[in-house]
Amino acid sequence: MTLLVQLCNWLADSWVGTQIRESDNLFSLIETVHVLGVAASAGVIMIVDLAVLRLVFARYSISQVLAPLVRITWIGFGLMAISGALLFWSEADKLYANVAFRVKMLLLIALGVNQWVFHRRLTSPALVHSKIGAGVSLGLWTGVIVLGRAIAYL
């Protein structure tokens, strides 16, 4: 894994990484986008999970609710990915060694897998499988948010 370590060091030492890390306000700005963007990404997707669980928006069919809300989350995830990448760029070496960051990335991968496994079931009669997926998604997103905060503390 020393290749990854070298890559992280190279990123952190690069001009862009250094500019962000040593900036007066740019880092705080990017971090603010990342923290507040949690509402447009994780927040909305967790409400989608509640809809799949039929706890909200019960008057709508699942397909009516899913498409527009998931579209919002794509924008939200775009914001999170860009701001997250810039934050990572500025402290890649520290984050690589950070346990909370590593587990957070694992949870995001797990969420991707979960999404792929259960998304196909959403329009089928076997809704119960999608409900399990929604429950798992709620738990994992909570973990992602919690670990994101924990990064600063480890």
Partner 1 sequence: MTVLQACEWLKATRLSVFIRESKWGFSLIEMVHLLALAALGGALLIGALRVFGIILNEQPLQATLRDLSRIIAFGILAMLLSGFLLFADGPLRYYGNSAFRIKLLLILAAAASAFIVYRRFQARSALSVAPMGLKVATAVSITLWLSAAVAGRVIGVL
Partner 2 sequence: MSSWFRKHSRAVMILSVTLLAGGYASAHHSFAAEFDAEKPARLVGVITKIEWTNPHSYFYLDVKNSKGDTINWGCEAGNPGALSRRGWKRGDIKIGDTLIVDGFLAKDGSHLIDARRVLLPDGRSVYGGSPGDGGPESDTPAPKP
Provide the mask over 108-137, with x wherever binding to partner 2 is found by CB under 8 A and - wherever it is not: ------------------------x--xx-
Give the SS3 label for residue 66. Answer: helix
Least CB distance from residue 101 to partner 1, whole Å?
16
d(CA 154, CA 77): 25
Type of residue found at 72:
I
Of 20, 42, 45, 65, the one binding partner 2 by CB under 8 A: 20
Residue 10: which of partner 1, partner 2, none does it interact with, CB under 5 to 8 A by kind?
Answer: none
Give, in degrees to the nearest 5, the angle at Cα 65 between 145 and 107. Answer: 25
Q: Please state, as a whole number, how many other Cβ atoms lie within 10 Å of the Cβ of residue 44.
A: 19
Q: Please state, as a whole number, how many other Cβ atoms lie within 10 Å of the Cβ of residue 136.
A: 18
Chain positions contacting partner 1, by CB under 8 A: 28, 31-32, 35-36, 38-40, 42-47, 50, 56-60, 64-65, 68-69, 72, 141-142, 145-146, 148-150, 153
